[in-house]
Structure 1
Amino acid sequence: ELTKIAWAKDCQVMIEGPGHVPMHKIRQNMDKQLAVCGEAPFYTLGPLTTDIAPGYDHITSGIGAAMIGWFGTAMLCYVTPKEHLGLPDRNDVK
């Protein structure tokens, strides 16, 4: 709804996607987002494919990012290993 309002006023829109999506639901999530949001550009934080790997979120996120990238997301955001352990600092983002 907000996307359509913004587009009516010639405002660019990018939709933020979820950060956690199980692997078997990534394509479904991407297809639904494109349909519901009028194919507005979509960006994701990962998505992380599991919630049971604290300290390894960069790996689970990389798996999800590869999959959702294949299915057409517009932009990927990075995830550091520190994602659920604390706030990343300059040294965590390499």
Structure 2
Amino acid sequence: MSNPIKGKVVVIPGAGSSLGEATARLLAAQGAHLVLGAESITRLESLAGELESSGGQVITMAMDVTRRDQVQDLVNAAMRTFGRMDVMVSTSQD
């Protein structure tokens, strides 16, 4: 069976939340390349290190999901690093 997630570039603003972290773990296990943003870069870097040690490709950026310019910066980071963005996952719990 084909894996439609493998190799996709997924941007997750708000990846520092419980839902965002769980989403990142699930997608990384399926072979997605991840671009993670959250206010706490320390938490993100810890998650990224864990995912990378399992073979994932992850970049992180400190950002505020309520700031449109910072969300755009996260998308731009995906474009610079991977040349595209296939999916953006909103993990807002509001």
Same fold (TM > 0.5): no
Greater relative contact order structure (CA < 8 Å, 6+ sep): 2
Q: TM-score range by the shorter chain?
A: 0.3 to 0.5
- By percentage of residues, which structure has more strand? 2
Q: Which protein has the larger Cα radius of gyration, Structure 1 or Structure 2?
A: 1
